[in-house]
Structures are given as structure tokens and as C-alpha cells.
Amino acid sequence: MTTRTEPAFTRLFDLSGKVALVTGARTGLGKALAEALASAGADIVGLGSRPMPETAGAVTALGRRFREIVCDLEKPHDFPALAADIVAQAHGIDILVNNAGIIRRQDMLDYTEEDWDAVMTVNLKSLFLLSQAVARHMVATGRQGRIINIASLLSFQGGIRVPAYTAAKHGVAGLTKLMANELAPRGITVNAIAPGYMETDNTAALRADPERTRQLMERIPAGRWGAPQDLATAVLFFAAPASGYVTGTVLPVDGGWMAR
């Protein structure tokens, strides 16, 4: 009788025994990222501004644990205390996926300080402070940690009518490289995924505009909107134990947009 063995390539992406903290995990990209990590064996801590029963159901259906942290990142927080609370509940954090983000659209001449502050707080300030708190935990416990930021095509381009979002996502790309430089000697990698035009709440206004949709589809070689599940292979690659020599990278997953 022969014994089936697991293919070597699947072991390269085995996250069994790992705990992944995913922000903005309630819907869209965050939910898909949490599911991808759970499918590879990771237990998930989902952080979101509201309860996330659908994400919880998807993760537990894969046989993994799910812990929910309801936290509005637009409000002030004691991030070291938040990280310590998550560590106490989950017994550690091995992978951090900084996915939470908001967008406010308005012409640059009319953009308000309120909208600027809200977007920068959620998309950049909270990303840094949470990463700092989690990285301190990883260093203190000797973890070969993984931090994965969600950047954007607007980490490379200017866009229109989204000044704060563009500034924040340029900042995410820069912070990814800065953190990679400083944390690599500690065995922690920091990378980013730059999604293209995806079917999420953030693109609802664009997808409701037939002319804008036509313009976008003409520019995307793949000829379609991206689906949240299109990010699964990228997040598993960056999270994998075997990817320890990959750090400081910003990877577009964009249907070829940046190549056009």
C-alpha cells in the first residue's frame, strides 16, 4: 500500500500554526485575503469597523479559527494596547495584512480638510502605527514575521479627484520600503500588493459610470475588473515561509494596467 504525500510545492505555502491579522476584513479584498490565508492553514484575526459574520463563516468553514476585533481605525487608538490585546487573544501574530482603507472623491479645488484627515488617518497613519506595534511583538518573540500592505495603482500614478487617497497610497509604497529596510535584519519581511481596478465598494461609483467603465476597460489588457480572489496568490506568496528573501517589493495585480 502506498502512502500519499503532500506535493512539495504546497508545503512552500503552508501556514499551519500561523496567526494572520487582516484589517478591513469584513468585505471585498479583506475578506478574500483572509480566506486565502485560512485556506493555507492560518488562523485569522479580522479587524473591521463593524461585525463581519460572513468572513467568520468563510474562515471557520475552512477549518480555521476566526477572532473578530471591531475597531474603527478613523478614531484615535492606543495601538500598542490594541496589538497586545490581539496577541493575548490569538497567542501571537505572525502575519499582518494592512488592508483597511477608505476613499473620498472630490475635485482637488474643492477637497475638504475633513476628508483629507479621514483618508490619511485610516490609509496611512493607522497602517504605520499598527505595523509598528505588531513588529515590536514579532521582534520580541523572535518571529520570522510577514507584513503585507495593500497599496494601489495610485501608489505609482496620480489619478483624478482622489488627492488624499493618492497621497496615502504613495506613502504606503514608501513605508513598505522603509520598513523592509529596517526589519529585514530582524527576519521580518515587508511587501505590498498594488491591486488594479477591483470589484469592491471603493469602485462602486466608477462601475456605475458607463463612460468611465468603458475608458478603464479599454486601458486594461485583461479587459475586465479584477475580483478580490485575484489577490490570493500574491498574498500567499508574500506570507509564505519560503519567501524570506523577498522584501521591499510592491507587486501590481492589475490585469496589465501598468504595462499599457
Among candidate residues 236, 251, 186, 232, the one with its CA nearest the CA of residue 11: 236
Interacting residues of 63 by C-beta distance below 8 A, sequence separation 6+: none
Q: How far apart are CA 171 and CA 179, in angstroms?
A: 12
Q: Residue 254 has what DSSP assignment?
A: S
Is residue 168 within 8 Å of 120, Cβ to Cβ?
A: yes
User: In the Cβ-directed half-sphere of 106, how many Cα atoms lie within 13 Å?
Assistant: 11
17, exposed or middle or buried, with CB in 10 Å at 0-12, 13-18, 19+?
A: exposed
Q: What is the 3-state secondary structure (H, E, C) of 151-216?
A: CCHHHCCCCCCCHHHHHHHHHHHHHHHHHHHHHHHHCCEEEEEEECCECCHHHHHHHCCHHHHHHH
Q: Residue 222 has what DSSP assignment?
A: T
**In sequence order, what DSSP letters do the residues of 138-149 get, joined into one string?**
HHHTT---EEEE
Residue 165 annotated in active site = yes
67, exposed or middle or buried, with CB in 10 Å at 0-12, 13-18, 19+?
A: middle
SS3 (DSSP) at 23: strand
From 111, 165, 197, 245, the catalytic residue: 165
Sheet containing 189-195: order of strands? 66-70, 43-48, 19-23, 95-98, 146-150, 189-195, 250-253
Residues serving a catalytic function are 165
